[in-house]
Chains A and B, each alone.
Chain A
Amino acid sequence: MSRRAIRDLWRAGVVLVLVMLALPGVVHAGDQISDEQARTLLEGLDASGFEAKGEAVERIASSQATQRERWLQALLEGRLARERRGEHFYIITDDAGREWPIIDAITLEDAGTGSRRTINTITINNTLRTRIEGALAAMSLTAGDVSARLAAARALLGTLDEASAPGVEDTLADEEDPAVREQLETALALYRVQQGDVAALETLRGHLDTRVRNALVPLAEGDGELAGEARRVLAGIERKREWHQRVQTLFFGLSAGSILVLAAIGLAITFGVMGVINMAHGELIMLGAYSAWWLQQLLPGQPGLALLLAIPFGFLVAAAFGIAIERSVIRFLKGRPLETLLATFGVSLILQQLVRTVFSPLNRAVAAPEWLRGSWQVTEALSISYSRLAVLIFCLVVFAALWAVMRFTRLGLEVRAVTQNRDMARAMGVRAARVDMLTFGLGAGVAGLAGVALSQITNVGPNLGQNYIVDSFLVVVFGGVGNLWGTLVAGMTLGVLNQVLQPWVGAVLAKIVVLVGVILFIQKRPQGLFPPRGRVS
């Protein structure tokens, strides 16, 4: 199907929606159709070409069949099926596993189970999907639904022609919602500009939608008043877009930075404060991510709740593993920090293989809850995805909490005392061994929190930790070992730098440039951004 045909279809669907809007209260009451007629309708869907299937969809949409919505929904989800050797049509109610429970598509009665061998699902493609969605939208439309009207109005931009423009003008006259009005006005203005109306350009000034820009580009070529004015408007749009792009890049950078900070902040405790070269840090992150997955398995259908519960749970799981590692291994290596590298490297190998053996070497799917999906469209050229925003906020909250713990609690005080002068602290009655255990547990727990956050961004698999270990050490060292603020600033700096460079030189070179930059920076400031003050060693 050509592009033009697709656009025509869209237009047809949108106009249909608008017509429905204009006629509130029309109810499709009619005679119930016979089973025979229903079967004929469904048989149309079993055609070989998608074009023919599309026509069958239209027939169903305009029919009187009471089940039509059910059919189209099932078709959309790939759950409408036909008996392989027979006449029946079924709707699959659950397609997990090998035997699927099915219901008869016409009587909607329970029909036992079907499998790949007995029933054949009816396939659709992208074009057909768009058509079905259009038909379903038109069917389920309620006149009071602002968001549906807004979506329809937004889709109109750049598609108006002589035939549809007057209809849109009528709709505009009846419309009360300001957002919808604005969209309709923009669409009309663009149409008028294309017809040669210079005054209408005023409405488009500073409009960020790419379709406006694309429509103006051909108009801006050539001479004449319209072209000159269009060029000016276009230049204004480009300037404004550029600024939005910069803000967007900054956000991308902060978001990338927040992931680095989250991954590194636990290490800033275990490595930075305690001096343990913890090669198993990445695996503790991985455990946090797996606990998010595990909770989602325990609470099917409630990914959001599971994710929220995973925050304390992931912390506890990773902290428990951390404390176990501290008690069984690191405790005995007191004063031999370099050897912790060897031991924790061993621990990291064991943990990785443990996850492979227990959960399989394959990645696990952690679902994103509804409220973390999609993005917040600040303007037409600037959108911020909810999951990224959530991770950024989460990172700042974790950082603030950790900083508060280290600054204001007794544990924090004791940790600082033990780090600065272990013997003196013990002489003052601090139970250094207990402090070590709790500190390591805290650092490990924070790594678990990072894992919970990362489960929303990246793969949850046995290699998750490995991908972050090098970056984590780099961030901690760049920021200055033992300084939480340093870790925050370093992570954010590296993130922003990377994202600013990426559009210019590509992802690979950007990373190389950042690494070389860090190496050179360390030459200038051999103790990182925030060197430890005074005599720590």
Chain B
Amino acid sequence: MKGFSMGSLSLSRPLLMGALLSAGAALGLSDDARAEADRDPIRVGILHSLSGTMAISESTLKDEMLMLIEQQNERGGLLGRQLEPVVVDPASDWPLFAEQARDLLSGDDRVDVIFGNWTSASRKAVLPVVEELNGLLFYPVQYEGEESSDNIFYTGAAPNQQAIPAVEYLREQGVERWALVGTDYVYPRTTNKILEAWLKDQGVSDDDIMVNYTPFGHSDWQSIVSSIASFGGQGKKTAVISTINGDANVPFYRELANQGISASDIPVMAFSVGEQELTGIDTAPLVGHMAAWNYFMSVDSDANFDFIDSWLAYKGDDSAVTNDPMEAHYIGFNMWVEAVKKAGTPEVDAVRDAIIGVTVPNLSGGSSAMMPNHHITKPVMIGEIQNDGQFSVVWQTPSNIAGDAWSDYLPDSRNLISDWRAPLHCGRLNVASMTCEDGEPAVSQ
């Protein structure tokens, strides 16, 4: 049974590698580099769904990782060894994520690092596996926080790197009423909880906050958009904070356009809509609606231009787009490369110690650093949707913001911090009692 599978694994993986190497040769790899490649390659696992509902978002990240690995190999690899990508398809099936993480991390041919996951559900499925088998996982998507693991590096935004600055910006713009609209899962729930607490701290009354949740892939937004319109028609400036997940966004924005709600009436600030989501929508009626991210394709920096050029060339498609999770993987990959160089080995424990404090350039012209809580520092930007499906940056934090694993606005996590350096080495440190609560399971949402 599995015996066969093992057999086929050991048969086909070298084959796969051979193909990659010959591809590398075709790309003009020097003889020296090839000689070095004879040593064992460093294996990089890529755990992104290529089929099922999440393929829409995740398949791009797989391609990006392949490109980054290819570029690194062209530069001579890492520690004189080639990088070898190991691609699997978890098919948007959370238990399959766990199974494949286990497969990637066990056996003689275990991978040295995994780049992967998109949804929180899949990350939570993989988390016990990477902890048990002591793997390294770089997670590139904005998420709800309230989690910290010794084995996971969160290169996407925590709520304080995205949600709160965005709402602050809207308040400056004179918004007084808030419609928090999201898909019914843990990220919108937690983010909205944090935002509600924050808004009430700022003196916003309950009547001026409306919360609405819809199922995954919700496609009939008629009555919800119409209730938003009447919520916003009470004379106070209203904004929608959207944590609507991927697939449901197209019908949502279409309905907004149909019911004639433009950005000057009720602007929508989205946390999960980037350039890639907009490729599926005609953006002409949406001009001026906003998104908050740590990166936009339109960002003005040479690093970004280089990255866009190589991405378009790699895809062979001039209309391909880049987005925030891609930048997160770009940063994460480079941090890992630097940490491996610093440690002199791809060994998990050594890399994990070496990576804290590593600083690499990000795509917005500055640089990002890995913090002791396994989150990174990033600038926060607000972009407005343009006619051409791009965002134009209208606001940006003056400096980088460090990700906060545990929100200060939730009663359960107010006193918690995470610091994985020795001697604390704790993901759930209660600063009030100075005790480490790592043994306790995650707070149920």
Spell out A's residues near B (CB within 8 Å): 1-3, 6, 50, 77-78, 95-98, 116-117, 120-121, 123-127, 129-130, 210-211, 214-215, 248-249, 252, 255-256, 259, 352-353, 356, 360-368, 373-375, 383, 385-388, 456-463, 466-467, 498-499, 502-503, 506-508, 511
Contact = CB atoms under 8 A, between A and B. Distances in A.
A123 B250 contact: no
Given A124-B394, A362-B280, A507-B220, 8 more contacts: A3-B174, A77-B387, A97-B319, A126-B173, A361-B51, A363-B280, A385-B255, A459-B280
A366 B255 CA distance: 15
A190 to B, nearest CB: 13
27 contacts: A78-B386, A78-B388, A96-B318, A96-B319, A98-B308, A98-B312, A211-B235, A252-B223, A255-B222, A360-B59, A362-B56, A362-B60, A364-B280, A365-B280, A373-B285, A374-B257, A383-B260, A387-B258, A388-B222, A457-B251, A461-B56, A462-B55, A463-B53, A498-B220, A499-B223, A507-B220, A508-B215
Contacts of A365: 279-282
Contacts of A503: 223, 227
Contact of A361 (B55, B257, B319): B55
B392 A120 contact: no
Interface residues of B, number: 69
Contact of B258 (A367, A375, A460, A461): A375
Interface in B381-411: 384, 386-388, 390, 392-395
Contacts of A252: 220, 222-223, 226
Given A362-B56, A507-B214, A507-B224, A388 B258 contact: yes
A426 to B, nearest CB: 43
A460 B288 contact: no
Contact of A256 (B222, B384, B395): B222
Nearest to A381: B230
Contacts of A50: 394
B134 interface: no
A123 B59 contact: no
Contacts of B230: 210
The list of the 5 closest CB pairs from A to B, nearest first, reads A363-B280, A385-B258, A210-B233, A3-B174, A214-B235
User: Which residue of B173, B258, B302 has the most chain A CB atoms within 10 A of its CB atom?
Assistant: B258
B302 A117 contact: yes
Contacts of A461: 56, 247, 280
Contacts of B193: none
A62 B254 CA distance: 37
B394 to A, nearest CB: 4
Interface of B: 50-53, 55-56, 59-60, 173-174, 176, 184, 212-215, 217-220, 222-224, 226-227, 230, 233-235, 237, 247, 250-251, 254-255, 257-260, 263-264, 267, 276-277, 279-282, 285, 287-288, 300, 302, 304-305, 308-309, 312, 318-319, 384, 386-388, 390, 392-395
Contacts of B388: 78, 95-96
Given A367-B282, A368-B282, A373 B257 contact: yes
Nearest to B175: A3
A459 to B, nearest CB: 5
A362 B54 CA distance: 10
Nearest to B283: A365
B50 A361 contact: yes
B187 to A, nearest CB: 16
Contacts of A3: 174, 176, 237
A362 B323 CA distance: 14
B24 to A, nearest CB: 24
Nearest to A213: B233
B390 to A, nearest CB: 8
Contacts of A211: 233, 235
B384 A352 contact: no
B251 A125 contact: no
Contacts of B212: 506-507
A428 to B, nearest CB: 45
Contacts of A373: 257-258, 285
A462 B92 CA distance: 13
Contacts of B387: 77-78
Contacts of B53: 463, 466
A124 B395 CA distance: 11
Contacts of A360: 59
Contacts, number: 178
A375 to B, nearest CB: 6
Contact of B300 (A120, A255, A388, A466): A120
A511 B220 CA distance: 11
A460 B222 CA distance: 19
B189 to A, nearest CB: 12
A116 B214 contact: no
Given A457-B254, A458-B251, A499-B222, A374 B319 contact: no
Contact of A352 (B51, B60, B226, B260): B51
A508 B214 contact: yes
Contacts of A214: 233-235
A78 B388 CA distance: 9
B159 to A, nearest CB: 23
A214 B236 CA distance: 10
Contacts of A117: 302, 305
Contact of B173 (A1, A356, A366, A507): A1
Contacts of A363: 56, 250, 277, 279-280
A353 B60 CA distance: 16
Nearest to A377: B260
Contact of B309 (A98, A375, A508): A98
Contacts of A123: 392-394
Nearest to A508: B215
Contacts of B276: 362
B434 to A, nearest CB: 42
A3 B174 CA distance: 5
A116 B305 contact: yes
Contacts of B223: 249, 252, 499, 502-503
Nearest to B306: A117
A499 B220 CA distance: 9
Contacts of A499: 220, 222-223
B250 to A, nearest CB: 5
A95 B50 CA distance: 30
Given A461-B280, A467-B217, A356 B51 contact: yes
A28 B302 CA distance: 44
A457 B282 CA distance: 12
B253 to A, nearest CB: 11
B57 to A, nearest CB: 9
Contacts of A460: 280
A457 B219 contact: yes
Given A117-B305, A249-B223, A507 B218 contact: yes
A97 B388 CA distance: 11
A360 B319 CA distance: 13
Contacts of B300: 116, 120
A463 B56 contact: yes
Contacts of B267: 126
Nearest to B176: A3
A117 B305 CA distance: 7
A126 B288 contact: yes
Contacts of B384: 125-126
Given A96-B319, A373-B257, A374-B260, A508 B184 contact: yes
Contacts of A126: 173, 263-264, 267, 288, 384, 394
Contact of A459 (B224, B235, B250, B257): B250
A483 to B, nearest CB: 25
Among B227, B309, B388, max chain A CB count under 10 A is at B388
B181 to A, nearest CB: 11
Contacts of A256: 220, 222
B51 A353 contact: yes
A458 B246 CA distance: 12
Nearest to B395: A125
A249 B395 CA distance: 39
